[in-house]
Amino acid sequence: MTQGKTPRRYVRGTEADLEQQRAFYRDLPDEDLMDHVVAGSEAAFATLVDRYKNRLQNIVYRYIRDFQRSEDLAQEAFVRVYLHRERYRKTGKFSTWIFTIAVNLAKNEIRRKVRLRDVLSLDYVAEMLGGSDPGIKDESQPAADRQAERGQTSEVVADAIAKLPVVYREALVLRDIEGLAYEEIAEILGIPGGTVRSRINRARIMLKDKLKGFAKTEL
Amino acid sequence: MNTCQRIDSLVSAFLEHEASPAELRFVESHLSTCPRCRAQIHEVSLAMEELSRLPRIETRSEFTDQVLARTRGLRAADLESREAWSMAPRFTTRRLFQWGVPLAAAAALAIALVSVQMARRSGEPETASRTTPTETAKPAPSVQPAQPGSNTTVPGPVLPPQVIHYGKGEGQSLGMVQDSYALGTYELRTPREGGTPILTPVASKPDMPVVVTF
């Protein structure tokens, strides 16, 4: 039951209280929700988590292809949003901010995996981060979870994406899977808009070439 | 760059309807005569369709609750640290600069006071005039080698304290500091001839030399 236009400040209460407040926050834009988060509303923060959790985990997953680890990193991105909530400025989109955090966490994870493999070759590191990616195999996703990638075609496409060099993969994922605007991608990746366009164009052509090897008749 | 390579660079702009009118004419004109580029455009378009149909990862049902549990833990820790901070003595950077005394000088002052007390107990005389800056060094105490079979530990060499006397009114005052043991008030002054600022007593114990040890 709502109490006026502004709900009472959330104090640890019942699950029913939390659900009531979530209903209120559901229609608020991200930037207004952040105001409530800064003011101490857990329900507002929960709404933001619900709103972005799938997209965040998808983005991270496309980087590292590790289901369990992508979940950890997606949660870590939200924790960092909470930790630095008072630094958020409405001049920028909330989505840009949180996607930037997630992308940086994913890139750090790639570097961490390279170190863990005790690979000292600088050439290999360059390959992983910017050259032709030998591919980070999904070693954590159990067979049952592969329901998330139904069909052989989907697996082929997912494998082809994973084999793209990171700089092309990330641009392609943000544009063609997450549907972000070029300008937002440029801000997230910290590169000029022209560079984003050229990388996405190049990534699409590379992806097309990789898919040709597994082509159906349509391709 | 040949024409087909130029078309490659315009594939995305063409497919996303972002090509300029001139670029559009250029592409359409070339496609009418180049089967390779027509296939390129078509295959990239299909690849983009496959991407849009890619199944999305669904987070587990407990995802949000797990995030909230982590942030609740952070809130509790944050509250505890804020309460601890509110009970601590206030010491701000502004006050530090107001007194004009670096934190290292305050630590050196505490060491100096202890050394003065120790020197008085040992009956060591003053070694220099108060009106002119002087430095004296005492010889290091001799160290007896440990006797074979003994259990005593031979201490390392002890550095002698530097005793610096400074008269009031010389040099430039940089500020005052109250030592943490409330034994006196000292003034930080620079020598007229320049050099490292020196602490000098100005209030209740004008006769007490300042001993700075390092």
**Residue A134's pLDDT is what?**
39
Q: Quickly count: other Cβ atoms within 10 Å of residue B137's Cβ.
A: 11
Segment B133-151 mean pLDDT: 43
What is the DSSP track for B87-99?
Answer: HSPP--HHHHHHH
Mean confidence (pLDDT) of chain B: 69
Given A54, A57, A197, which is nearest B12 (Cβ)? A197
Task: Decide if B48 contacts B15 (C-beta within 8 A).
Answer: yes
Pairing of strands B135-136, B162-164: antiparallel
Phi, psi of A61 (to 5 degrees): -60, -40
pLDDT at B206: 46
Cα(B164)–Cα(B212) distance, rounded to whole angstroms? 7
Q: What is the mean pLDDT of chain A?
A: 81
Shortest CB distance from A208 goes to which of B43, B53, B63? B43
* pLDDT band of A214, cuts 50, 70, 90: low
Q: Which residues of B touch A198 (CB under 8 A)?
A: 9
How confident is the model over A28-70, as pLDDT tens digits?
A: 999 999 999 999 999 999 999 999 999 999 999 998 889 999 9
Q: How confident is the model at residue B165 (pLDDT cuts 50, 70, 90)?
A: very low
Q: What pLDDT does residue B34 have?
A: 95
pLDDT given for residue B80 in this prediction:
66
| A4-13, A177-186, B186-195: segment of lowest average pLDDT | A4-13
Judged by average pLDDT, the poorest of B60-74, B80-94, B149-163, B195-209 is B149-163
Distance from CA of B39 to the nearest CA of A (A): 9
- pLDDT bin (cut points 50, 70, 90) of residue A10 is very low
Q: Does B23 touch chain A (CB under 8 A)?
A: no
SS3 at position B174: strand
For A53-136+149-212, give the CATH class.
Answer: mainly alpha
Identify all chain A residues contacting B56, using CB atoms and an 8 Å cutoff: 54, 58, 148, 177
Question: What is the predicted ipTM?
Answer: 0.76
User: What is the rounded (10 degree) CA torsion for A141, A147, A152, A155?
Assistant: -40
Q: Quote the pLDDT of residue B124.
A: 52
pLDDT band at A88 (very low <50, low <70, confident <90, very high): confident
**Residue B60 pLDDT greater than 50, yes or no:** yes
Q: Which of A2-11, B74-83, B121-130 has the lowest mean pLDDT?
A: A2-11
Contact A169, A131 (CB under 8 A): no
- What confidence score (pLDDT) does residue B99 get? 64
Give the N- to C-terminal CA distance of chain A in Å, as an integer: 55
Count of other CB atoms within 10 angstroms of residue B32: 9
pTM for this predicted structure = 0.59
Residue range B55-64: mean pLDDT, rounded: 92
Task: Compute how many other C-beta atoms are within 10 angstroms of the C-beta atom of residue B68.
Answer: 18
Flag if A148 and B51 touch (Cβ within 8 Å).
no
CA gap A103, A97 in Å, rounded? 10
d(CA A83, CA B8): 45
Q: Quote the CA–CA distance of A22 and A187 in Å, as a whole number.
A: 30
DSSP E strands in A41-174: the ranges are none
Q: Indicate the pLDDT class of residue A115, thresholds 50, 70 and 90.
A: confident
> Which residues in chain A have Cβ-Cβ distances shorter than 8 Å to B43?
208, 211-212, 219
Whether B185 contacts chain A with CB within 8 A: no
Give the Cα separation of A145 and A22 in Å (integer): 29
Residue B144: the pLDDT is 44
Can you give the pLDDT at residue B112? 81
Q: How many CB pairs under 8 A join A and B?
A: 104
